[in-house]
Each structure stands twice: as C-alpha cells, then as structure tokens.
A and B are shown apart, each in its own frame.
Chain A
Amino acid sequence: MTAQEVRLCGLLLQEHFGNVVEKVGTHLIRSGVLTLRALAHETKLPLDLVKKSLCVLVQHGMCTFGAGRRGPAGPVEYRINCERVFHMLRYPRYIYTAKSLYGDTGELIVEEILQRGQMTMSSTVKTVADRLTHNMPEGQSMDYSEVVSAFSQLVETHFLQRCPLASAGSSSSGAVDTPLPVATQPTEPESHPDCYKLPYINLTGQGKRRRSSEDGEADQCAAKKARTDDSECGDDRIYWQVNFQRFHLHFRDQAIISAVSCKLDQIFRALLSSYNIARPILDQYLSLLVDDPMEFVGKTGDSGGGMYVVNLHRALANLARATLESVVQERFGSRSARIFRLLLRKRHLEQKQVEDFAMIPAKEAKDMLYKLLSENLVQLQEIPKTPDYAPSRTFYLYTVNQLPTARLLLQHSYKTVGNLMERRLYETKENKRLLEKSQRIEAILASLQATGAEAAQLTEVEEMITVPERQQLESLRHHINKLDSSENQVDETIFLLKSYINSTQASR
C-alpha cells in the first residue's frame, strides 16, 4: 500500500463512517494483519469502540477475518481490503448506472444495498417499497411485486450477488464449530454454486407510507417486525451484496463503445442500437474498424462471412495511452505532447532524433525533454559502447514505458483525490458557523411554512441572513460542488488506468 493510497482510504473511511473507524482502518491497513487485542492496544482506543468499528467494516465487506497464524485455535486475525474502500468513491456512478438500466426502483435497490453493505432480499424490498411510496402522491403505494421483479433482474444480470459463506468465527476460548478458512484466501463469492440464485420468498403487500408524527414508534415497531418477518419470509441468512466486478465490466464496455463511436461517425452510434443492419453496410463498417490503427476489432477468420473479435486488452491499452497523452498535453503543452507521443511510438530515440522527428528547435526540445524527465514521465536509457560507461562513448536514449507511467499517473490521481477531499473538508470547516446558521434558518422557515405563517414573518426570518453572508454561502456551495465534481471526474481516470494495469498484469 502506497502512502497516497493509505491517505485516501483514511479520508474515505472518515467521510462515511467517522473518525473512530478511520483510526482503526488506517492502522489496520498500515499493519497488514492484526488480532483484535493487538489492534485495540496499538490504537489506544477502548475495546468496545474497536469492536464496533470492525463490525461496521466487516458488514460492508471492507474487512475480512480468518484464522490467524496460529491456526484455528488461535485468535482471529483481520485485514482490510483496500480496493473495496476505493469503491466508495464510485458509489454515485454505480447508482446512476443502475438507474439508467433499471429505472428508479433499480436505483433505490442498489443505493440501499451500497449504504448497508449487505441485506436480505425481503428487507431490501420492503425498504425500497416504503421509500418509493413516500415519494408517490397520496393514495398510491408501491407494490412489493414490482420491486421484487426489479431485484430479480439485477440478480439475473449479475449486478447483485449473494454474499460469500462466512464460517462462524470462534471466540478466543470456545471450541470451533466449523474449520475457518485460512486468512489469506477469503472465499470468492463466485465459488458458491447458488451465487445468483434467487431464494423463494413469500412476500406480498405494498409499501407503507410513513406519517411524520409516528416516526419514533414506527421505527421501533418496524425494527421488531423486520426481525420476525425475515424468518417468516424464508430468506433468513441469505445476504446480497453489489457485484462490483460486473459494474466495472459494464463501465469498461461503455468506455470502449464511446471511444469507438467518437472516432467513427454519428450514424454508427445510432446503428448500434438497432441490430438489424443491412449486410453490406455492416461489412463496410467492420472493415473500417479492423483497419483502424487503434486495433479495437480484429478479424480472426473468414468462416460464416468473416469472424470478428473485439480486442479488449488492446482497446484498454489504447484508452490508457490516450489518457496519458492528454495529461501531458494539458500540463506541458501540445509540443511536449508531440514529443511524448513520438517516444511512445518509436520507443527509443536520441536527443537529436527527437528534435528532427518532432520538428521542434533544439533548444526548446531540450527544455521540454528535461522537464518531462524531471517529472518522471520520460526515462533515460544508457547504452554503453565500452565496458566503462564513459560519457563520450555511451548512447543516451529517451524512452517512455506505458505501464510504469500509467502506474505513476494512478498514484498521482490518488493524491489528487486526497487533495480535493482535504480541501473540501477545509472549506467546510472554515465556514462551519455560517453553514450552521443557514441550516437553522432553513429549519425555522420550514417549520413556519408548515404551520402556515404569513409572508411577513417569512421574509423577516429570511432577512436574518445578510446579503454578504448570502454571497459567501453561494460561493461556498459553488466551490464545494466544483470539488465534488472534480472528484467524480478523477475517479473516471482512476478506473481507466486501474483496468488497464489489471488487464496487463493478468495477461502476463
């Protein structure tokens, strides 16, 4: 785990779960694997707080536990899954994708499961139905069957999966019921044969509209009812979680399709949606794609009129390369970008050759090359002519390696997101007083409007915020929106680079 990754994990945990979980999580990431006692001792937090934090982390799938180094008889050891913490950055994208594929119902289902970590099907259906009913006009309510059908669709397309079997952990003194898996290899959810099988539940009814007056009692009753109902519905102990890999496949496909359709004309994108394309036009487009230097599509044979394959690895590499080039262009200018592209294609070049091929005057080329070198985007390779590396008899070649450069940019991206989050926290803290004041005034306004106050009273309350304060609030909101938006956008870059790195490593 690099320093930037640990820092980003800490910030994400703090944003969602508070300072206590952040302390526990960060320490566990840095230490690797720890037992409960060791963790409590080293973080100097009370044991109960550490237990609560670990519960939260296990519930969300960010922490795995298993038999430790001393075997099943020893204390349980915990480790954090950093990748899963990074996925928290991408929650809005997952929810938006679910909305675009399966509508509002799908969106709410995915949102509930993401916020709670894992849920049973029946509790998800009830919660989502209640939430949808709340937004509907009076008198209408959402039937459970609609929610169940949306849930089934999500499971069938593998966007949701069953949580992997967790064998009961043994207490430090008690006997072990079932043998614990070794801590290094958590059971993969896909190894479970019923991973995508829907349980049979008898759940009929409609969403309930919650009246605001009975909030407290309704919550308690609902909690009690939920516990008894779960076992009645027949899907006790079957928990569902979001299948992140499947979402990532979907994003990857989207990225490739959008890249291709940007390159070819607009009609192509429209044609893709309808599958009956006239044969000769299809042939033309396919040959265009095959001949394209980006090599997204390859032709593997002529059987059946031509066999075509989408070259995913090549496509990802090209997308990553485009990202790297655009980064260089935006930070150093288009001429530096030209040098960078040149080096990517031609692999190794001497300084003189760089000047010639890029058609840039020597002095400027030298300047740009050295700047790229100092940023580590370009490497220098020495090729000696003689065994003693005498400078006069050594070739100095400039080169760019795509994979290490992608890794470097990924670390930069993590650092960027960390910086954005810290800046947002700082801005919020600086203006805390003003934000609290505006929240209180909004609450007062809302209560006044609910009880039917006159317009004069409302304006009087509104005037409690002076005009310069209003301006300050407005600019604060604008800044925070910008910072949040930037985080989302940097996360897209992170996703692209990570997919490229993973696919390259997998194919090696």
Chain B
Amino acid sequence: MAGSRGRGRSQFSFSVDALGFGRGDSLPSSAHTPSPLFPPMQFRPVPLHTGEEVDYMLALKQELRASSKNLPFHIKAARTKTDVAHYSDKYQNGETKNNCIEWSPDWSRMPKELCIKVRKPRKTGAKPQLTRKPKVAAGKEEVLQKLETLEKREEEQHSEEEEDEEKKKQNEEEPDADEDYDEEDLEDETDYIMSYFDNGEDFGADSDDNMDEAVY
C-alpha cells in the first residue's frame, strides 16, 4: 500500500485513528450486563399500512380466531375429578370427556390406532328415561303410581342384570340411582322431598264443627 507510513513503526493497512483508541491505551471497557430488554430506539418506526384491504384482513383475522375456539378442533383437557362431589356436577354433564371425539374424521385416511373406542351406555338404560320425561309435571297424586312403577322397573333391571354377564352393570348402578334421585327432585323443582311436605290443607278442616273453643 503506497502512502505515507510511520518509518519502521507498526504498520497497519488502515489508519490507526479509525480504531477509536490510541496506542498503549487500555481497551474500552466491555459491558458486563446483558443488553436491555427494551433498548431505546433511535428512530421512530414507520406507521402501519392503512386502508380498506388492511381493515378487512384485520377483521377476518379476529373473526377466525374467535370462531376457531368454537370448532370441535379446539381441544380442551377434561377437568380432573376433585375429591369433593359438588352439587352442580349433576347438572354439568355436558363437560368434555377425554375419551370421545367431537367430530367424525374419515378413518380411511387416518391411522387406525388414532381411533378412540367409546363405550356406549346400555340401551335399556335409555328407555325408562324417555318415558319418565313427560311425567315431570305430575302432581302429588301420581307419586304413589310412580313409586310402584319404579319398583317394577328395578325388578326388571335386576333380572336383566342377572342375565347379563358384562361388567357394565356396575357402571349403570350410579346412573340408575341418579335417575331415582332426579325423579323426586324434579317433580316440583324444589329441594324438598314431596312426601315430607305437609301443605296445610288439613289444618282448618277439622275445627269447623266445634265452635266453642276460640282459635288462636
């Protein structure tokens, strides 16, 4: 490289001043901390694009995000059962279960090992439930009738269970017990069992004949 150089001294191909520190000086101190998380910016960023196209795509994006939460592809883990059985558990049987898939894929296009076998509830359990629904609004007079039919059905179920050798009867005992319990509760939609309630119709009827004693 032509040009004036220090005679015999250390010769670099670039000007030493360009380095920013002179000969013999200590090196500039190095930073001991990581760079700041939000370093101050020298220049303001350019504003975003605006326009009809941009607004439409923004709206589309937000709509897609909202609607994808409602699709069956959005998978939520089923809540693990806590030790305490809540009263509201009975009314919240629409919760997601881990072992059922909410949409039906085409299994010819997927590996068979991904198919989850869902255990179906016994069909006999479904029939009494259908016949019981219209009786929800029945009055007190039909309670006795219902008790009789329930007894009969329990006998039927017991006999069927004895015939069936499958383990499913153990699973069905719980929903059967629940159905009985539902039945009593749903009659008048109160928390109180109807047979315990005395609505006072018999109170004034007895004392009409004897008018000697005052009624307090």
Taking a contact as CB atoms under 8 Å apart, the answer to whether B49 and A489 are in contact is yes
The answer to whether A92 and B75 touch (CB under 8 A), given A166-B109, A172-B113, A396-B14, is no
Stretch at the interface among B53-61, B165-173, B181-189, B199-207: B53-61
Q: Which residue of the partner chain, among A18, A45, A111, contacts B74 with CB atoms under 8 Å?
A: A18
Whether a CB of chain B sits under 8 angstroms from the CB of A429 is no
Taking a contact as CB atoms under 8 Å apart, the answer to whether A237 and B71 are in contact is no
Flag B1-44 by CB within 8 Å of A: 1 or 0 each.
00000000011111101101000000000000000000000110
Question: For B104, what are the chain A residues with a Cβ–Cβ distance below 8 Å?
Answer: 227
Whether a CB of chain B sits under 8 angstroms from the CB of A285 is no
Q: Could you tell me the distance in whole angstroms from the C-beta of B72 to the nearest C-beta in chain A?
A: 9
CB closest chain-A residue, reference B69: A18
Q: How many residues of B contact A (CB 8 A)?
A: 48
Flag A465-508 by CB within 8 Å of B: 1 or 0 each.
00000000000000001101111110000000000000000000
Q: Could you tell me the distance in whole angstroms from the C-beta of B80 to the nearest C-beta in chain A?
A: 10
Taking a contact as CB atoms under 8 Å apart, the answer to whether A51 and B116 are in contact is yes
CA distance A219 to B98 in the complex (A): 22
Whether a CB of chain B sits under 8 angstroms from the CB of A53 is yes
Those of B90-130 within 8 Å (CB) of chain A = 98-99, 101, 104-106, 108-116
Flag A66-110 by CB within 8 Å of B: 1 or 0 each.
000000000110000000000000011101100000000000000
CB closest chain-B residue, reference A56: B73
CA distance A91 to B75 in the complex (A): 20
Taking a contact as CB atoms under 8 Å apart, the answer to whether B61 and A92 are in contact is yes
Q: Which residue of the partner chain, among A49, A239, A489, contacts B106 with CB atoms under 8 Å?
A: A239
Whether a CB of chain A sits under 8 angstroms from the CB of B215 is no
Q: Which residue of the partner chain, among A16, A170, A239, A331, contacts B43 with CB atoms under 8 Å?
A: A331
Whether a CB of chain B sits under 8 angstroms from the CB of A299 is no
Taking a contact as CB atoms under 8 Å apart, the answer to whether B56 and A168 are in contact is no
Taking a contact as CB atoms under 8 Å apart, the answer to whether B101 and A115 are in contact is no
**Considering residues B43, B98, B109, which has the most beta carbons from chain A within 10 angstroms of its beta carbon?**
B109
Q: Which residue of the partner chain, among B56, B64, B75, contacts A21 with CB atoms under 8 Å?
A: B75
Taking a contact as CB atoms under 8 Å apart, the answer to whether A351 and B60 are in contact is no
Q: Which residue of the partner chain, among A93, A170, A394, contacts B112 with CB atoms under 8 Å?
A: A170
The answer to whether A59 and B111 touch (CB under 8 A), given A18-B76, A96-B56, A96-B57, is no
* CB-CB nearest 4 A-B residue pairs: A169-B111, A92-B60, A92-B57, A171-B112
Q: B-side interface residues toward A, CB under 8 Å? A: 10-15, 17-18, 20, 42-43, 45-46, 48-49, 53-54, 56-58, 60-62, 64-65, 67-68, 71, 73-77, 98-99, 101, 104-106, 108-116
Task: A58-B110, A92-B58 given; name 7 further pairs at CB < 8 Å.
Answer: A18-B74, A20-B75, A59-B73, A76-B111, A92-B61, A174-B112, A392-B13
